[in-house]
Structure 1
Protein backbone atom coordinates (compact mmCIF):
# COMPACT_ATOMS: atom_id res chain seq x y z
CA UNK A 1 0.00 0.00 0.00
CA UNK A 2 1.24 3.48 -0.86
CA UNK A 3 2.50 5.35 2.22
CA UNK A 4 0.63 8.52 1.30
CA UNK A 5 -2.69 6.68 1.53
CA UNK A 6 -1.78 4.41 4.44
CA UNK A 7 -0.90 7.43 6.57
CA UNK A 8 -4.12 9.28 5.84
CA UNK A 9 -6.92 6.72 5.66
CA UNK A 10 -9.74 7.29 8.12
CA UNK A 11 -10.54 4.90 10.95
CA UNK A 12 -13.51 3.70 8.93
CA UNK A 13 -11.41 3.03 5.83
CA UNK A 14 -8.86 1.05 7.81
CA UNK A 15 -11.52 -1.12 9.43
CA UNK A 16 -14.14 -1.42 6.67
CA UNK A 17 -15.12 -4.91 5.59
CA UNK A 18 -15.98 -5.74 1.96
CA UNK A 19 -19.39 -7.15 1.18
CA UNK A 20 -19.22 -10.96 1.27
CA UNK A 21 -21.97 -11.03 -1.34
CA UNK A 22 -19.90 -8.97 -3.79
CA UNK A 23 -16.87 -11.14 -3.13
CA UNK A 24 -18.99 -14.21 -3.79
CA UNK A 25 -20.14 -12.91 -7.18
CA UNK A 26 -16.60 -12.91 -8.54
CA UNK A 27 -16.45 -16.65 -7.89
CA UNK A 28 -19.88 -17.75 -9.07
CA UNK A 29 -19.48 -16.03 -12.45
CA UNK A 30 -16.90 -18.62 -13.47
CA UNK A 31 -17.96 -20.59 -16.58
CA UNK A 32 -19.90 -23.74 -15.78
CA UNK A 33 -20.53 -22.77 -12.18
CA UNK A 34 -23.97 -23.63 -10.78
CA UNK A 35 -24.17 -21.88 -7.44
CA UNK A 36 -26.79 -21.67 -4.72
CA UNK A 37 -24.63 -19.31 -2.68
CA UNK A 38 -26.24 -16.02 -3.72
CA UNK A 39 -29.90 -15.04 -3.71
CA UNK A 40 -29.96 -14.29 -7.42
CA UNK A 41 -33.15 -14.92 -9.42
CA UNK A 42 -32.88 -17.00 -12.58
CA UNK A 43 -32.38 -14.56 -15.49
CA UNK A 44 -34.63 -16.76 -17.65
CA UNK A 45 -37.67 -15.52 -15.72
CA UNK A 46 -36.92 -11.79 -15.86
CA UNK A 47 -40.03 -10.05 -17.32
CA UNK A 48 -38.12 -8.30 -20.08
CA UNK A 49 -41.02 -7.75 -22.49
CA UNK A 50 -43.36 -6.56 -19.74
CA UNK A 51 -40.73 -4.20 -18.35
CA UNK A 52 -40.03 -2.83 -21.83
CA UNK A 53 -43.67 -1.83 -22.23
CA UNK A 54 -43.04 1.02 -19.82
CA UNK A 55 -40.28 2.62 -21.88
CA UNK A 56 -42.82 4.99 -23.44
CA UNK A 57 -42.78 6.92 -20.15
CA UNK A 58 -39.36 8.27 -21.10
CA UNK A 59 -40.75 9.83 -24.27
CA UNK A 60 -43.89 11.04 -22.52
CA UNK A 61 -42.19 12.59 -19.50
CA UNK A 62 -38.50 12.57 -20.35
CA UNK A 63 -37.84 16.18 -19.36
CA UNK A 64 -38.75 15.38 -15.78
CA UNK A 65 -37.34 11.86 -15.62
CA UNK A 66 -33.92 12.94 -16.90
CA UNK A 67 -33.70 15.67 -14.24
CA UNK A 68 -32.72 15.21 -10.60
CA UNK A 69 -35.53 13.55 -8.67
CA UNK A 70 -36.70 13.98 -5.11
CA UNK A 71 -34.70 12.23 -2.42
CA UNK A 72 -37.87 10.67 -1.01
CA UNK A 73 -38.64 8.95 -4.31
CA UNK A 74 -40.90 9.03 -7.37
CA UNK A 75 -44.37 9.81 -6.05
CA UNK A 76 -46.40 7.60 -8.47
CA UNK A 77 -44.33 4.60 -7.37
CA UNK A 78 -44.76 5.46 -3.70
CA UNK A 79 -48.50 5.88 -4.13
CA UNK A 80 -48.74 2.47 -5.78
CA UNK A 81 -46.67 0.83 -3.05
CA UNK A 82 -48.67 2.43 -0.26
CA UNK A 83 -51.85 0.87 -1.65
CA UNK A 84 -50.34 -2.45 -2.76
CA UNK A 85 -48.65 -3.16 0.57
CA UNK A 86 -51.58 -2.05 2.75
CA UNK A 87 -53.03 -5.58 3.26
CA UNK A 88 -49.68 -6.84 4.58
CA UNK A 89 -48.88 -3.66 6.51
CA UNK A 90 -52.23 -3.53 8.25
CA UNK A 91 -52.84 -0.02 6.95
CA UNK A 92 -51.91 2.25 4.07
CA UNK A 93 -48.90 4.35 5.04
CA UNK A 94 -48.63 7.95 3.86
CA UNK A 95 -46.58 7.89 0.63
CA UNK A 96 -45.33 11.42 1.29
CA UNK A 97 -44.39 11.19 4.98
CA UNK A 98 -44.01 7.52 5.89
CA UNK A 99 -42.16 6.05 2.91
CA UNK A 100 -38.85 6.51 1.13
CA UNK A 101 -37.61 4.81 -2.04
CA UNK A 102 -34.10 3.41 -1.73
CA UNK A 103 -31.51 2.12 -4.17
CA UNK A 104 -32.24 -1.46 -3.22
CA UNK A 105 -32.80 -2.65 0.34
CA UNK A 106 -29.04 -2.52 0.89
CA UNK A 107 -29.22 1.27 0.88
CA UNK A 108 -32.09 1.03 3.34
CA UNK A 109 -29.81 -0.85 5.73
CA UNK A 110 -27.11 1.77 5.29
CA UNK A 111 -29.37 4.79 5.78
CA UNK A 112 -30.98 3.21 8.83
CA UNK A 113 -27.53 2.56 10.28
CA UNK A 114 -26.53 6.19 9.75
CA UNK A 115 -29.61 7.24 11.69
CA UNK A 116 -29.30 4.70 14.50
CA UNK A 117 -25.80 3.38 15.14
CA UNK A 118 -23.00 4.97 17.11
CA UNK A 119 -19.69 3.14 17.32
CA UNK A 120 -19.89 0.47 19.99
CA UNK A 121 -23.69 0.15 19.95
CA UNK A 122 -25.32 -3.27 19.80
CA UNK A 123 -27.81 -4.73 17.32
CA UNK A 124 -29.88 -7.82 18.09
CA UNK A 125 -30.11 -10.22 15.16
CA UNK A 126 -31.08 -13.78 14.43
CA UNK A 127 -28.15 -16.16 14.69
CA UNK A 128 -27.25 -16.79 11.91
CA UNK A 129 -28.28 -13.72 9.92
CA UNK A 130 -27.89 -12.08 6.52
CA UNK A 131 -24.19 -11.43 5.90
CA UNK A 132 -24.59 -8.22 3.90
CA UNK A 133 -26.72 -6.67 6.64
CA UNK A 134 -24.21 -7.64 9.32
CA UNK A 135 -21.40 -6.15 7.25
CA UNK A 136 -23.29 -2.88 6.89
CA UNK A 137 -24.01 -2.63 10.61
CA UNK A 138 -20.41 -3.56 11.44
CA UNK A 139 -19.01 -0.89 9.14
CA UNK A 140 -21.08 1.65 11.07
CA UNK A 141 -19.47 0.47 14.30
CA UNK A 142 -22.12 -1.95 15.57
CA UNK A 143 -21.58 -5.10 17.58
CA UNK A 144 -24.02 -7.98 17.76
CA UNK A 145 -26.16 -10.01 20.11
CA UNK A 146 -27.31 -13.16 18.34
CA UNK A 147 -30.58 -14.92 19.18
CA UNK A 148 -30.87 -18.58 18.08
CA UNK A 149 -33.48 -19.59 15.51
CA UNK A 150 -35.55 -22.68 14.85
CA UNK A 151 -38.14 -23.63 12.21
CA UNK A 152 -40.40 -20.80 13.46
CA UNK A 153 -37.76 -18.10 13.23
CA UNK A 154 -36.06 -16.18 16.02
CA UNK A 155 -36.60 -17.76 19.44
CA UNK A 156 -38.26 -14.61 20.71
CA UNK A 157 -38.78 -15.92 24.26
CA UNK A 158 -35.00 -15.67 24.74
CA UNK A 159 -35.05 -11.91 24.18
CA UNK A 160 -35.87 -10.65 27.70
CA UNK A 161 -32.96 -12.49 29.31
CA UNK A 162 -30.58 -11.42 26.52
CA UNK A 163 -31.65 -7.76 26.71
CA UNK A 164 -31.55 -7.55 30.50
CA UNK A 165 -28.14 -9.24 30.66
CA UNK A 166 -26.75 -6.93 27.99
CA UNK A 167 -28.02 -3.83 29.77
CA UNK A 168 -26.51 -4.98 33.08
CA UNK A 169 -23.21 -5.23 31.21
CA UNK A 170 -23.60 -1.66 29.98
CA UNK A 171 -24.33 -2.56 26.37
CA UNK A 172 -26.43 -0.05 24.44
CA UNK A 173 -28.91 -1.91 22.23
CA UNK A 174 -30.16 0.26 19.36
CA UNK A 175 -32.49 -2.02 17.40
CA UNK A 176 -33.57 -5.54 16.51
CA UNK A 177 -32.91 -6.70 12.94
CA UNK A 178 -35.05 -9.55 11.65
CA UNK A 179 -35.97 -11.33 8.42
CA UNK A 180 -39.31 -12.88 9.29
CA UNK A 181 -40.21 -14.45 5.92
CA UNK A 182 -38.02 -17.16 4.33
CA UNK A 183 -35.06 -16.16 6.45
CA UNK A 184 -31.64 -15.79 4.88
CA UNK A 185 -29.73 -18.03 5.43
CA UNK A 186 -31.95 -20.27 7.56
CA UNK A 187 -35.10 -20.37 5.42
CA UNK A 188 -37.51 -20.20 8.36
CA UNK A 189 -40.68 -18.10 8.56
CA UNK A 190 -41.52 -16.57 11.92
CA UNK A 191 -44.85 -17.67 13.38
CA UNK A 192 -47.61 -15.13 13.98
CA UNK A 193 -47.40 -15.72 17.73
CA UNK A 194 -43.71 -14.85 17.73
CA UNK A 195 -44.28 -11.77 15.58
CA UNK A 196 -46.75 -10.46 18.13
CA UNK A 197 -44.42 -11.32 21.00
CA UNK A 198 -41.51 -9.58 19.28
CA UNK A 199 -43.50 -6.35 19.03
CA UNK A 200 -44.55 -6.75 22.66
CA UNK A 201 -40.90 -6.95 23.75
CA UNK A 202 -40.01 -4.04 21.48
CA UNK A 203 -42.53 -1.88 23.33
CA UNK A 204 -41.54 -3.19 26.76
CA UNK A 205 -37.82 -2.52 26.31
CA UNK A 206 -38.15 0.52 24.03
CA UNK A 207 -36.10 -1.04 21.23
CA UNK A 208 -37.08 -0.40 17.57
CA UNK A 209 -37.34 -3.19 15.00
CA UNK A 210 -36.02 -3.25 11.43
CA UNK A 211 -38.20 -5.73 9.53
CA UNK A 212 -36.33 -6.75 6.37
CA UNK A 213 -38.72 -8.44 3.94
CA UNK A 214 -37.16 -9.01 0.51
CA UNK A 215 -38.68 -12.49 0.18
CA UNK A 216 -42.15 -12.09 1.68
CA UNK A 217 -43.89 -11.68 -1.67
CA UNK A 218 -42.13 -14.71 -3.19
CA UNK A 219 -44.54 -17.26 -1.77
CA UNK A 220 -45.62 -20.26 -3.84
CA UNK A 221 -48.23 -21.73 -1.50
CA UNK A 222 -50.02 -20.94 1.73
CA UNK A 223 -51.24 -17.58 2.96
CA UNK A 224 -49.18 -14.42 3.33
CA UNK A 225 -48.58 -13.75 7.00
CA UNK A 226 -49.15 -10.28 8.46
CA UNK A 227 -46.01 -8.22 8.85
CA UNK A 228 -44.52 -7.28 12.20
CA UNK A 229 -45.29 -3.71 11.17
CA UNK A 230 -49.01 -4.52 11.23
CA UNK A 231 -48.87 -5.42 14.94
CA UNK A 232 -47.09 -2.24 16.00
CA UNK A 233 -49.13 0.60 17.49
CA UNK A 234 -46.27 2.85 18.63
CA UNK A 235 -44.39 3.57 15.41
CA UNK A 236 -41.36 1.56 16.45
CA UNK A 237 -41.16 -0.81 13.46
CA UNK A 238 -39.50 0.00 10.15
CA UNK A 239 -40.47 -2.20 7.18
CA UNK A 240 -38.11 -2.62 4.22
CA UNK A 241 -39.14 -4.18 0.91
CA UNK A 242 -37.36 -4.70 -2.39
CA UNK A 243 -38.03 -5.31 -6.07
CA UNK A 244 -34.84 -7.39 -6.36
CA UNK A 245 -36.62 -10.72 -5.94
CA UNK A 246 -40.07 -9.85 -7.38
CA UNK A 247 -38.88 -7.95 -10.49
CA UNK A 248 -35.11 -7.85 -10.90
CA UNK A 249 -32.08 -7.10 -8.73
CA UNK A 250 -30.67 -4.91 -11.50
CA UNK A 251 -33.50 -2.44 -11.03
CA UNK A 252 -31.95 -1.47 -7.67
CA UNK A 253 -35.23 -0.22 -6.26
CA UNK A 254 -36.44 -0.83 -2.73
CA UNK A 255 -38.61 0.97 -0.23
CA UNK A 256 -38.90 1.66 3.48
CA UNK A 257 -42.08 2.35 5.42
CA UNK A 258 -42.07 3.69 8.95
CA UNK A 259 -42.95 6.59 11.18
CA UNK A 260 -42.25 10.03 9.75
CA UNK A 261 -39.57 10.53 12.43
CA UNK A 262 -37.25 7.80 11.14
CA UNK A 263 -38.15 8.33 7.47
CA UNK A 264 -37.16 11.99 7.77
CA UNK A 265 -33.78 11.10 9.28
CA UNK A 266 -33.09 8.51 6.58
CA UNK A 267 -34.05 11.06 3.92
CA UNK A 268 -31.57 13.61 5.26
CA UNK A 269 -28.76 11.05 5.20
CA UNK A 270 -29.70 10.04 1.67
CA UNK A 271 -29.54 13.71 0.63
CA UNK A 272 -25.93 13.74 1.79
CA UNK A 273 -24.87 10.47 0.18
CA UNK A 274 -26.87 9.75 -2.99
CA UNK A 275 -29.24 12.66 -3.68
CA UNK A 276 -31.86 10.38 -5.23
CA UNK A 277 -32.49 6.94 -6.65
CA UNK A 278 -32.58 6.84 -10.46
CA UNK A 279 -35.84 8.53 -11.44
CA UNK A 280 -35.90 6.75 -14.80
CA UNK A 281 -35.68 3.35 -13.14
CA UNK A 282 -38.33 4.25 -10.58
CA UNK A 283 -40.68 5.38 -13.37
CA UNK A 284 -40.14 2.14 -15.31
CA UNK A 285 -40.84 0.10 -12.18
CA UNK A 286 -43.96 2.18 -11.52
CA UNK A 287 -45.24 1.54 -15.06
CA UNK A 288 -44.59 -2.19 -14.67
CA UNK A 289 -46.60 -2.15 -11.44
CA UNK A 290 -49.46 -0.03 -12.77
CA UNK A 291 -49.77 -2.34 -15.79
CA UNK A 292 -50.72 -5.11 -13.36
CA UNK A 293 -47.67 -7.33 -13.81
CA UNK A 294 -46.58 -7.34 -10.18
CA UNK A 295 -49.56 -9.47 -9.20
Structure 2
Protein backbone atom coordinates (compact mmCIF):
# COMPACT_ATOMS: atom_id res chain seq x y z
CA UNK A 1 0.00 0.00 0.00
CA UNK A 2 1.43 3.41 -0.95
CA UNK A 3 1.80 6.41 1.32
CA UNK A 4 -1.12 8.85 1.21
CA UNK A 5 -0.23 12.22 -0.35
CA UNK A 6 0.39 14.69 2.44
CA UNK A 7 0.37 12.03 5.16
CA UNK A 8 2.86 12.81 7.92
CA UNK A 9 4.91 10.09 9.63
CA UNK A 10 7.29 10.41 12.55
CA UNK A 11 10.09 8.02 13.46
CA UNK A 12 11.88 7.74 16.81
CA UNK A 13 13.00 4.09 16.64
CA UNK A 14 16.37 5.01 15.19
CA UNK A 15 17.47 8.42 13.88
CA UNK A 16 14.76 11.00 14.58
CA UNK A 17 12.99 11.79 11.30
CA UNK A 18 9.73 12.77 9.67
CA UNK A 19 8.23 12.36 6.21
CA UNK A 20 5.38 13.96 4.26
CA UNK A 21 3.82 11.60 1.74
CA UNK A 22 7.07 9.63 1.80
CA UNK A 23 9.20 12.77 1.26
CA UNK A 24 11.85 13.23 3.95
CA UNK A 25 11.55 16.39 6.05
CA UNK A 26 14.86 18.18 6.52
CA UNK A 27 15.44 18.53 10.27
CA UNK A 28 18.59 20.61 10.75
CA UNK A 29 20.60 20.72 13.93
CA UNK A 30 20.25 19.28 17.40
CA UNK A 31 17.81 21.96 18.63
CA UNK A 32 15.25 21.09 15.96
CA UNK A 33 15.72 17.36 16.59
CA UNK A 34 15.14 17.81 20.33
CA UNK A 35 12.03 19.93 19.80
CA UNK A 36 10.60 17.48 17.28
CA UNK A 37 11.42 14.49 19.52
CA UNK A 38 9.60 15.96 22.53
CA UNK A 39 6.57 16.85 20.42
CA UNK A 40 6.42 13.37 18.89
CA UNK A 41 6.79 11.70 22.29
CA UNK A 42 3.85 13.80 23.54
CA UNK A 43 1.66 12.50 20.63
CA UNK A 44 -0.57 15.53 20.39
CA UNK A 45 -0.37 16.74 23.98
CA UNK A 46 0.98 20.23 24.66
CA UNK A 47 4.67 20.39 25.53
CA UNK A 48 5.37 23.50 27.63
CA UNK A 49 8.04 25.88 26.36
CA UNK A 50 9.86 25.48 29.68
CA UNK A 51 10.14 21.73 29.03
CA UNK A 52 11.56 22.34 25.56
CA UNK A 53 14.07 24.83 26.97
CA UNK A 54 15.15 22.32 29.62
CA UNK A 55 15.49 19.57 27.02
CA UNK A 56 17.69 21.70 24.75
CA UNK A 57 19.90 23.52 27.27
CA UNK A 58 19.49 21.85 30.64
CA UNK A 59 19.97 23.82 33.85
CA UNK A 60 21.77 26.81 32.27
CA UNK A 61 19.69 28.09 29.34
CA UNK A 62 20.58 31.39 27.66
CA UNK A 63 18.39 34.41 28.22
CA UNK A 64 17.18 34.07 24.64
CA UNK A 65 16.17 30.40 25.10
CA UNK A 66 12.43 30.91 24.60
CA UNK A 67 12.99 32.99 21.47
CA UNK A 68 15.36 30.33 20.11
CA UNK A 69 12.76 27.61 20.71
CA UNK A 70 10.24 29.70 18.77
CA UNK A 71 12.74 30.07 15.93
CA UNK A 72 13.31 26.32 15.95
CA UNK A 73 9.57 25.72 15.63
CA UNK A 74 9.36 28.20 12.74
CA UNK A 75 12.20 26.36 10.99
CA UNK A 76 10.45 23.02 11.47
CA UNK A 77 7.20 24.38 10.05
CA UNK A 78 9.08 25.63 6.98
CA UNK A 79 10.71 22.20 6.60
CA UNK A 80 7.32 20.46 6.60
CA UNK A 81 5.97 22.91 4.02
CA UNK A 82 9.06 22.35 1.86
CA UNK A 83 8.38 18.60 2.00
CA UNK A 84 4.87 19.17 0.68
CA UNK A 85 2.61 19.61 3.72
CA UNK A 86 0.15 22.47 3.26
CA UNK A 87 -1.37 22.46 6.75
CA UNK A 88 -0.11 23.21 10.24
CA UNK A 89 1.92 20.36 11.72
CA UNK A 90 3.07 22.17 14.88
CA UNK A 91 0.35 24.09 16.68
CA UNK A 92 1.21 26.92 19.08
CA UNK A 93 -0.74 27.31 22.35
CA UNK A 94 -0.59 29.77 25.23
CA UNK A 95 1.82 27.56 27.16
CA UNK A 96 3.73 25.66 24.49
CA UNK A 97 3.42 23.60 21.33
CA UNK A 98 1.80 20.37 20.19
CA UNK A 99 1.62 18.26 17.05
CA UNK A 100 -1.48 18.11 14.89
CA UNK A 101 -1.85 14.32 14.84
CA UNK A 102 -5.13 13.76 12.95
CA UNK A 103 -3.40 12.21 9.91
CA UNK A 104 -0.03 11.42 11.46
CA UNK A 105 1.68 8.06 11.76
CA UNK A 106 4.09 7.19 14.55
CA UNK A 107 6.52 4.27 14.46
CA UNK A 108 6.37 4.14 18.27
CA UNK A 109 2.59 3.73 18.19
CA UNK A 110 2.85 1.05 15.49
CA UNK A 111 5.46 -0.73 17.62
CA UNK A 112 3.16 -0.62 20.65
CA UNK A 113 0.22 -1.97 18.64
CA UNK A 114 2.24 -4.86 17.20
CA UNK A 115 3.66 -5.80 20.59
CA UNK A 116 0.22 -5.71 22.22
CA UNK A 117 -1.17 -7.98 19.50
CA UNK A 118 1.82 -10.32 19.84
CA UNK A 119 1.39 -10.49 23.61
CA UNK A 120 -2.27 -11.46 23.14
CA UNK A 121 -1.35 -14.14 20.60
CA UNK A 122 1.33 -15.55 22.89
CA UNK A 123 -1.10 -15.61 25.81
CA UNK A 124 -3.50 -17.68 23.68
CA UNK A 125 -0.78 -20.14 22.66
CA UNK A 126 -0.56 -18.83 19.08
CA UNK A 127 3.22 -18.97 18.87
CA UNK A 128 3.44 -18.68 15.08
CA UNK A 129 1.34 -15.51 15.00
CA UNK A 130 3.12 -14.08 18.04
CA UNK A 131 6.48 -14.63 16.39
CA UNK A 132 5.43 -12.83 13.21
CA UNK A 133 4.09 -9.87 15.18
CA UNK A 134 7.14 -9.57 17.46
CA UNK A 135 9.40 -9.73 14.41
CA UNK A 136 7.32 -7.03 12.70
CA UNK A 137 7.74 -4.81 15.77
CA UNK A 138 11.53 -5.27 15.75
CA UNK A 139 11.67 -4.56 12.01
CA UNK A 140 10.47 -1.01 12.70
CA UNK A 141 13.80 -0.19 14.35
CA UNK A 142 16.63 1.31 12.28
CA UNK A 143 19.12 2.06 15.06
CA UNK A 144 19.26 3.19 18.70
CA UNK A 145 16.13 5.02 19.83
CA UNK A 146 16.20 8.80 19.28
CA UNK A 147 19.62 8.52 17.68
CA UNK A 148 21.38 11.84 17.17
CA UNK A 149 19.40 13.80 19.76
CA UNK A 150 21.01 13.58 23.19
CA UNK A 151 20.15 15.51 26.32
CA UNK A 152 18.80 14.44 29.69
CA UNK A 153 15.08 14.33 28.86
CA UNK A 154 15.41 12.65 25.48
CA UNK A 155 18.03 10.18 26.73
CA UNK A 156 15.61 9.11 29.45
CA UNK A 157 12.90 8.55 26.86
CA UNK A 158 15.36 6.65 24.64
CA UNK A 159 16.29 4.39 27.55
CA UNK A 160 12.62 3.53 28.11
CA UNK A 161 12.18 2.68 24.42
CA UNK A 162 15.32 0.52 24.41
CA UNK A 163 14.03 -1.33 27.49
CA UNK A 164 10.85 -2.13 25.56
CA UNK A 165 12.90 -3.41 22.62
CA UNK A 166 14.86 -5.70 24.97
CA UNK A 167 11.58 -7.00 26.39
CA UNK A 168 10.36 -7.82 22.87
CA UNK A 169 13.64 -9.63 22.14
CA UNK A 170 13.14 -11.70 25.27
CA UNK A 171 9.54 -12.45 24.31
CA UNK A 172 10.61 -13.48 20.80
CA UNK A 173 13.32 -15.68 22.31
CA UNK A 174 10.64 -17.49 24.32
CA UNK A 175 8.51 -17.87 21.20
CA UNK A 176 11.50 -19.26 19.28
CA UNK A 177 12.08 -21.89 21.95
CA UNK A 178 8.40 -22.82 21.96
CA UNK A 179 8.35 -23.15 18.17
CA UNK A 180 11.42 -25.39 18.27
CA UNK A 181 9.80 -27.58 20.93
CA UNK A 182 6.67 -27.87 18.76
CA UNK A 183 8.65 -28.87 15.66
CA UNK A 184 8.30 -25.59 13.71
CA UNK A 185 12.01 -25.52 12.97
CA UNK A 186 12.08 -22.95 10.14
CA UNK A 187 9.99 -20.48 12.13
CA UNK A 188 12.01 -21.13 15.29
CA UNK A 189 15.28 -20.47 13.48
CA UNK A 190 13.96 -17.24 11.99
CA UNK A 191 12.74 -16.02 15.37
CA UNK A 192 16.10 -16.74 17.01
CA UNK A 193 18.03 -15.15 14.14
CA UNK A 194 15.89 -12.02 14.52
CA UNK A 195 16.70 -11.87 18.22
CA UNK A 196 20.41 -12.02 17.37
CA UNK A 197 20.02 -9.35 14.69
CA UNK A 198 18.23 -7.01 17.10
CA UNK A 199 20.83 -7.76 19.77
CA UNK A 200 23.53 -6.30 17.53
CA UNK A 201 22.15 -2.83 18.31
CA UNK A 202 23.55 -0.95 21.31
CA UNK A 203 21.31 -1.39 24.33
CA UNK A 204 19.56 -4.53 23.03
CA UNK A 205 22.29 -7.10 23.72
CA UNK A 206 20.70 -8.74 26.77
CA UNK A 207 19.11 -11.85 25.17
CA UNK A 208 21.96 -12.48 22.69
CA UNK A 209 23.78 -15.16 24.69
CA UNK A 210 20.57 -17.07 25.35
CA UNK A 211 19.58 -16.81 21.69
CA UNK A 212 22.98 -18.22 20.66
CA UNK A 213 22.48 -21.14 23.02
CA UNK A 214 18.90 -21.77 21.86
CA UNK A 215 20.00 -21.68 18.23
CA UNK A 216 22.81 -24.09 19.06
CA UNK A 217 20.36 -26.51 20.63
CA UNK A 218 18.16 -26.21 17.54
CA UNK A 219 21.16 -26.96 15.35
CA UNK A 220 21.92 -30.13 17.31
CA UNK A 221 18.28 -31.21 17.05
CA UNK A 222 18.25 -30.65 13.30
CA UNK A 223 21.50 -32.54 12.88
CA UNK A 224 20.16 -35.52 14.79
CA UNK A 225 17.03 -35.50 12.68
CA UNK A 226 19.16 -35.65 9.55
CA UNK A 227 18.03 -32.25 8.23
CA UNK A 228 21.40 -31.25 6.80
CA UNK A 229 20.22 -28.17 4.91
CA UNK A 230 18.62 -26.72 8.00
CA UNK A 231 21.64 -27.82 10.03
CA UNK A 232 24.06 -25.74 7.96
CA UNK A 233 21.77 -22.71 7.71
CA UNK A 234 21.26 -22.59 11.46
CA UNK A 235 25.00 -23.02 12.00
CA UNK A 236 25.74 -20.11 9.67
CA UNK A 237 23.44 -17.93 11.79
CA UNK A 238 25.83 -18.43 14.70
CA UNK A 239 28.37 -16.74 12.48
CA UNK A 240 31.57 -16.86 14.53
CA UNK A 241 34.09 -19.33 15.90
CA UNK A 242 33.29 -18.54 19.53
CA UNK A 243 29.62 -19.40 19.03
CA UNK A 244 30.48 -22.61 17.20
CA UNK A 245 32.86 -23.50 20.02
CA UNK A 246 30.01 -23.04 22.49
CA UNK A 247 27.92 -25.31 20.29
CA UNK A 248 30.64 -27.99 20.40
CA UNK A 249 30.56 -27.89 24.20
CA UNK A 250 26.76 -28.10 24.16
CA UNK A 251 26.85 -31.06 21.79
CA UNK A 252 29.46 -32.82 23.92
CA UNK A 253 27.33 -32.45 27.04
CA UNK A 254 24.26 -33.67 25.18
CA UNK A 255 25.60 -36.64 23.24
CA UNK A 256 29.01 -37.75 24.50
CA UNK A 257 32.55 -36.74 23.57
CA UNK A 258 32.89 -39.25 20.78
CA UNK A 259 30.03 -37.71 18.79
CA UNK A 260 30.70 -34.06 19.54
CA UNK A 261 33.07 -33.25 16.70
CA UNK A 262 30.62 -34.58 14.15
CA UNK A 263 28.05 -32.02 15.31
CA UNK A 264 30.19 -28.99 14.49
CA UNK A 265 29.88 -27.77 10.87
CA UNK A 266 33.46 -26.65 10.25
CA UNK A 267 32.67 -25.36 6.77
CA UNK A 268 30.18 -22.86 8.26
CA UNK A 269 32.84 -21.16 10.39
CA UNK A 270 34.47 -19.29 7.53
**Structure 2-normalised TM-score?**
0.26
Higher RCO (CA < 8 A, seq sep 6+) = 1
TM-score for the superposition, normalised by structure 1? 0.24
